[in-house]
Amino acid sequence: MNLPKTFHLSLQWLIICALIGLFSGSASAFFLVALEWVTQIREHHAWIIWLLPIGGLIIGLLYHYYGASVVKGNNLLLEEYENPQQPIPFKMAPLVLIGTLITHLGGGSAGREGTAVQMGGAIADQFSNWFQLDKNDRKTILILGISAGFASVFGTPLAGALFALEVMYFSKINLKSVILSFAVAYAAYYTVEFWQVQHTHYSIATLPEMNGIHLLWTIGVGILFGLAALLFSRTTHFWSRLFSRHIPYSPIRPLIGGTVLAVILFFIGTTKYIGLGVPEIVKAFSTPNESYDFLLKILFTGFTLGAGFKGGEVTPLFFVGATLGSALSVIVPLPIALLAGMGFVAVFSGATHTPIACTVMGMELFGIEGGIFIGIACLSAYFASGSIGIYHSQIVKGPKYHLYQKINRFRLDLF
């Protein structure tokens, strides 16, 4: 073994992790503060919703004329990992930041994960050129960017590291990427802590004993969470295809979509289904939601993102899962906070095919004591959510892939 070379490489990757964690964590901290700022402006000035079409047009023009190479967002990161072609342009970071803030200011229904992950990926990939890294090392860099972005924006370093690895899992992951993913996740997480930016805290106060009856109920609601994830993914893809097919000039899509959203929001008279929806998520842990809340969030988010507005899908997935679990509490004999917490991460698990990361995220957010319930719900949702998730460029194999292959073969033999 060449010890000097090994030491040099180890030092190089340590520096890279520290810098990616610092820059990505700082970007996420700024984004979280700015997001809260624009949200408060919107909540205190309801008339701003009428500017959503103009905001949509601005986003559309920005991406049409300056961001065509990065418009794929998270899918571009997945594609570059699977088949490295060109470095991720740094402009992905400011464009998605501006687009997301405009979306939330105007009242679009979107999340923040996509923004943080894209900023992390764009920032991280700049190190590929600076350090003259080859294609294999560039794959590691992309994992680090996703890990740093996810961990910093949600305050869940373990889940962030695992999410970056699991979402890429079937594209081959090496041991170096695993170790570095955890290192950069904690670097980004502590950077946000350094900037004293707070994350939302949740809790599950009461946990029942795990027995046969509770196991069956957990599996049952997990399947429902998986079906909700399936509906969310299909709805988002449906609106995206519809807008693309009927409106060729992309800047007009969010203009028209924003107009429709503004009119609908005016007539329904509530803002609970727009933005991140964090207050409604927190409320779901203590007060049963209406049975249609999760459906309306799916509709608003799918339409918003499909029209071309920017932001993530994950926080809306949290909303969908938490409100569905909360609504189920009137018929399912499990504590409302537990049902909301299971839904919170299980719908996310089904929509991203990442049951391990989502289980760990649930334990980071709600406590390790409920891990068995959370894990079963996430696994059930994972299998029930179908083979299509929110990231159409994600490679889906493993147990779910083989299960659906068998189901499809059975259908062909049957008919």
Same domain, 35 and 66: yes
Token pair for residue 343? 């839904």
Asked if residue 203 is part of any domain, the answer here is no
Asked if residue 415 is part of any domain, the answer here is no
Same domain, 29 and 135: yes
CB–CB of 183/10 below 8 Å? no
**Helix 135-154 and helix 113-130: axis angle, to 10°?**
150
Same domain, 294 and 175: no
Asked if residue 353 is part of any domain, the answer here is yes
In this structure, what DSSP letter does residue 397 have? -
Q: How many domains is the chain built from? A: 2
- 376-412 burial, b at 16+ Cβ within 10 Å, e below that, comes to bbbbbbbbbbbbbbbbeebbeeeebeeeeeeeeeeee
Domain stop point among 145, 166, 194: 194
What pLDDT digit, counting tens, does each position of 32-45 carry? 999 999 999 999 99
Secondary structure element (H or E) that encloses residue 17, with its range: helix 3-44
Same domain, 169 and 23: yes
Q: Output the pLDDT for position 402.
A: 59
Same domain, 284 and 333: yes
Residues 6+ positions from 128 with CB-CB distance below 8 Å: 87, 137, 138, 141
Same domain, 217 and 180: no
Closest C-alpha to 282, from 360, 200, 342, 222 = 200
Same domain, 374 and 305: yes
pLDDT in tens, the chain (415 residues): 577 778 888 999 999 999 999 999 999 999 999 999 999 999 999 999 999 999 999 999 999 999 999 999 999 999 999 888 899 999 999 999 999 999 999 999 999 999 999 999 999 999 998 998 888 899 999 999 999 999 999 999 999 999 999 998 766 778 899 999 999 999 999 999 999 999 999 999 999 999 999 999 999 999 999 999 999 999 999 999 999 999 999 999 999 999 999 999 999 999 999 999 999 999 999 999 999 999 999 999 999 999 999 999 999 999 999 999 999 999 999 999 999 999 999 999 999 999 999 999 999 999 999 999 999 999 999 999 988 899 988 877 666 665 655 555 555 555 5
Asked if residue 200 is part of any domain, the answer here is no
Asked if residue 406 is part of any domain, the answer here is no
AA identity, residue 401: Y
d(CA 24, CA 97): 12
Closest C-alpha to 169, from 399, 414, 338 = 399
Closest C-alpha to 236, from 157, 160, 163, 316 = 316
What pLDDT digit, counting tens, does each position of 214-224 carry? 999 999 999 99
Same domain, 125 and 219: no
Q: Output the pLDDT for position 415.
A: 53
Instruction: List the domain range (segments joined by +) for residue 82.
Output: 3-194
Q: Is 271 helix (H, G, I), strand (E, B) or coil?
A: coil
Asked if residue 290 is part of any domain, the answer here is yes
Asked if residue 297 is part of any domain, the answer here is yes
Q: Is 62 helix (H, G, I), strand (E, B) or coil?
A: helix
Domain stop point among 194, 224, 244: 194
Domain stop point among 165, 194, 223: 194
Same domain, 133 and 237: no
CB–CB of 373/358 below 8 Å? no
Query: Where would I find the H helices in 89-211?
Result: 92-106, 113-130, 135-154, 157-167, 175-194
Q: Output the pLDDT for position 190.
A: 98
Q: Output the pLDDT for position 351.
A: 97
d(CA 278, CA 111): 10
Closest C-alpha to 243, from 253, 251, 233 = 253
Token pair for residue 93? 């970071």
Same domain, 13 and 43: yes
**pTM of the prediction?**
0.95
Q: Output the pLDDT for position 5.
A: 76
Same domain, 8 and 118: yes
Closest C-alpha to 229, from 98, 92, 352, 374 = 352
Asked if residue 140 is part of any domain, the answer here is yes
Instruction: Give the end-to-end CA distance of the chain in Å, rounded to a whole number.
Output: 60
Q: What is the largest CA-CA distance in the chain?
A: 70
Closest C-alpha to 154, from 348, 338, 298 = 348
CATH number for the domain including 273?
Answer: 1.10.3080.10
What's the half-sphere exposure (Cβ side, CA atoms, 13 Å) at 38? Answer: 24
Same domain, 268 and 348: yes
Task: Say how many C-beta atoms besides its own lie within 10 A of residue 198's C-beta.
Answer: 11
